[in-house]
Amino acid sequence: MPSLAKEVIQRGLNLLVAVTLPFGLEAERRDTALAGLQDLEATGATIITYDHAEHFTASMSLEDALEKSSEFLAQRVQRWIKGESDAQ
């Protein structure tokens, strides 16, 4: 993904990347995702990140957690499109 992001940015296009990070119990996948996120951040792309580990509670079902992340990302993308987002 970082090489694609670099190519898009070099062409002078805006790029927004929506990223979800794995749940804390997915340690190996989470480590890989965090390393990939660092590489992506280095491209200068605008990134919206949702971290399941920060927002998941024991009382939530998996379906509720995934729905919450989808709603969060959809709202942030809409705000970015309107120029209202604080995405970095």
User: How sure is the predictor about 86, in pLDDT bands with cuts at 50, 70 and 90?
Assistant: low
Domain ranges of the chain: 2-81
Amino acid at 78: Q
Q: Phi and psi of 18, rounded to 5°?
A: -100, 125
The listed CATH number (3.90.550.10, 3.40.50.1440, 3.40.50.300, 1.10.3720.10) that belongs to domain 2-81: 3.40.50.1440
pLDDT of 54 reads 86
Residue 11 to residue 70: CA distance in whole angstroms: 29
Q: Give the model confidence (pLDDT) of 26-57 as tens digits.
A: 889 999 999 999 999 988 889 999 998 888 88
pLDDT of 26 reads 87
Comparing C-alpha atoms, which of 5, 74, 14, 10 is closest to residue 41? 5
Give the mean pLDDT of the chain: 87
In percent, the amount of the chain with pLDDT more than 90 equals 47
Model pTM?
0.76
